[in-house]
Amino acid sequence: MTKIKNNPLIWEARVGKYHAIPFDKIKLEHFMPAVEEALKIVRENVTQIKNNTALPDFENTIVALYSSSEFLDEVSNVYFNLMGSESNDEFKALAQKIGPLLSELHNEITMDPVIFEKYKTVYDKKDTLNLSKEEKRLLEINYKSFVRNGALLEKDKKNRIKEIDMELAKISPQYSQNVLSATNAYELYITDINELSGLPESALQAAKFLAKQKGKKEGWMFNLQVPSIQPILGYADNRELRKKITLAFSSRAFKDKFDNRDLIKKIVDLRFERAQILGYKTHAHFVLEERMAKSPDEVIRFIDELSGIAMPYAKNDVAELQKIAKELDNISTIESYDAIYYSNKLKKQRFHFDEEEVKPYFKMENVIAGAFEIAKKLYDLNSAELNDIPIYHEDVKVYEVTDIDQNYIGLIYLDLFPRETKRGGAWMTNFLTQGLTHGEIYRPQVAIVASLTPSTDKTPSLLRLSEVETVFHEFGHALHGLLSDCKYSSIASPNVYWDFVELPSQIMENWAIEKEGLDVFAKHYQTGEKIPADLVEKIHKVQNFQAGSQNIRQVSFGVLDMAWHNVNPSNIKDVGEYEQEVLKEYILYPKDPDKNMSCSFGHIFGGGYSAGYYSYKWAEVLEADAFELFKEKGIFDKETATSFRNNILARGNTEHPMDIYLKFRGKKPDSKALLRKSGLLSK
């Protein structure tokens, strides 16, 4: 590694006892030299494995191959994490080079006949090697990965797989970049306060603050970040304003200069072709082979069962909103951009609940402190903010997590506010996955990235209830990563089946709304007063408010995902028309051909959820069933929490998810648990 010995991306440049990434020293120009050197190292390591004349065994083949790409994994991991959270156009453009190089190397190895034959030799005698359960699992998963990547194909088909993967490695990042560019391109500047009637003072302050940041001496500025548009959708009396912002958000990268329609067609065509070459009917069949659901038929059955129960409730939800819209404003046909506005009106009328009333109790710093305190109560974890760890943006904060005996558990980075260099949404990611690297088993470094309501020059960051749930959701993912206790990082938490990975995150949301959880952190930011019992009661009452339409909305995303990936897409000519046709039975409001979700559906076209978006609802079943045990025993019951930690969070993908779940719950999940929790089924 002499050529890049001063490059801050090398392992030796990591900082102190934590081996923290030196973000303060990393620049754009460091990545390509590091990637090129790392690729060279991997190829040298693979050549050594191929040339080894000793009989292939677990150490000289499986572990050797596992360890061969450590440096490359580290460099690419830093790059792609920063690309999502702190990058400019030049930084993102580098993905067009790095992605294809990584894809080329991956296929080069997994399709190498000598490597595969060595791997197969070990695999074929796995039952005689006295392997541990985790070693055997690693061997089996990786062998199947070879096969699923084309190791058994003829040369011409292998070459075509390589071409497809190279192309996908280029266009998927471009899709994501288009969504971000379309989001950043939109600004709505308003100078007449009368146009903003109904907006709460907190939203007006935020918009005025944004206008100042954009160089305006007066007025109010809005963009397409969720904290900016949500108050308009929920409170703006100006119906045309709600319509304008809804259309802008719902048409990102659709029929504009960042149009993703052609990229979508390329992506689904290539995915389908790849699946066909590998012997699968569709991309969905390929993906779901390695999921709990196992097949598209099972996913469709699950979606149909859920939507069949939820749809009558959803239609009733819309009828209720239509009624109040008619009563209050004489609106004869309610539109999608009216839904949140009249939902808030109905909540206030029926439950005397206004989300603005609870925000003062959800100061961001208190919410974060509460999440850590709840983790302490459940899992005996301690946390302390560190000020000497390099960060990639001034908003980022870093915490050390330790156990009850002060043993180091891991680092957690928190990056919680929106900016133009960050893609929208919220996610958890790993900077260092727990497990074996550089000859030692290291503890993890995880991050939570989000775009929460920021502070202004007059008020601190005060979160909506939904944002509090987002924090706890991502914190659940973070705990999954932090509490992993495996040997091999590739199967350590959270590297589990996609329809299992949302269990730790979704179950954590419960502590954000249960009274015992709220009592830990929900304090008025000015007075320090605990959230009143009557307000907690209101929160509970509104949890299942319009649960039918909420469920149908989520189900429709899964339907759209499967519609793109469980078909031969060659006959799909128009992205907009196809989406409208697919969702016609799930659209609760009048259709609008100018809106399109597919063109900004980053989960399935720019992320890892293709043929897997149903996972959120699937995991909600697991979560609802699992939390019933916590409710039965007590939400801070140590025995239940310890079992969840040891049997779910710590185990990664060392066993099949259902086997892991059975060890915690003692039975298979009850499919009706979600419906009971949502109020769509009687107890």
The H-assigned helical ranges of 522-599 are 533-542, 547-565, 575-582
> CB neighbours of 352 closer than 8 A, spacing ≥ 6?
538
C-alpha 269, offset from chain centre = 25
Q: What is the 3-state secondary structure (H, E, C) of 321-354?
A: HHHHHHHHHCCCCCCHHHHHHHHHHHHHHHHCCC
- Token pair of 428 as six digits: 């958890």
Q: Minimal CA–CA distance to 484: which of 130, 134, 141, 140?
A: 134
- Going from the C-alpha of 63 to that of each of 66, 135, 139, 151, 254, the distances in angstroms are 5, 9, 9, 19, 46
* 371 CB neighbour count, 10 Å cutoff: 27
| Amino acid of residue 426 | A
Please enumerate, as own/partner, the contacts of 341-349 that have beta carbons within 8 Å and a separation of 24 or more.
Answer: 341/233, 341/234, 341/235, 341/236, 341/242, 343/234, 343/545, 343/546, 344/234, 344/235, 346/320, 346/321, 346/545, 347/542, 347/545, 349/324
Strand, coil or helix: 190: strand
Q: What single-letter amino acid sits at 194?
A: N
CB 111 within 8 A of CB 149: yes
In the residue annotation, 305 being an active-site residue is answered as no
Residue 384 main-chain phi, psi, to 5 deg:
-150, 130
Q: How far apart are the first and last CA of the chain?
A: 63
d(CA 310, CA 288): 25
- State the sign of the Cα–Cα–Cα–Cα dihedral 284, 286, 287, 288: positive
Do 199 and 231 form a contact (C-beta atoms < 8 A)?
yes
d(CA 530, CA 518): 9
Q: What is the 3-state secondary structure (H, E, C) of 98-144?
A: HHHHHHHHHHHHHCCHHHHHHHHHHHHCHHHCCCCHHHHHHHHHHHH
Exactly one of 70, 273, 474, 509 is catalytic; name it: 474
SS3 463: coil
Catalytic residue set? 474
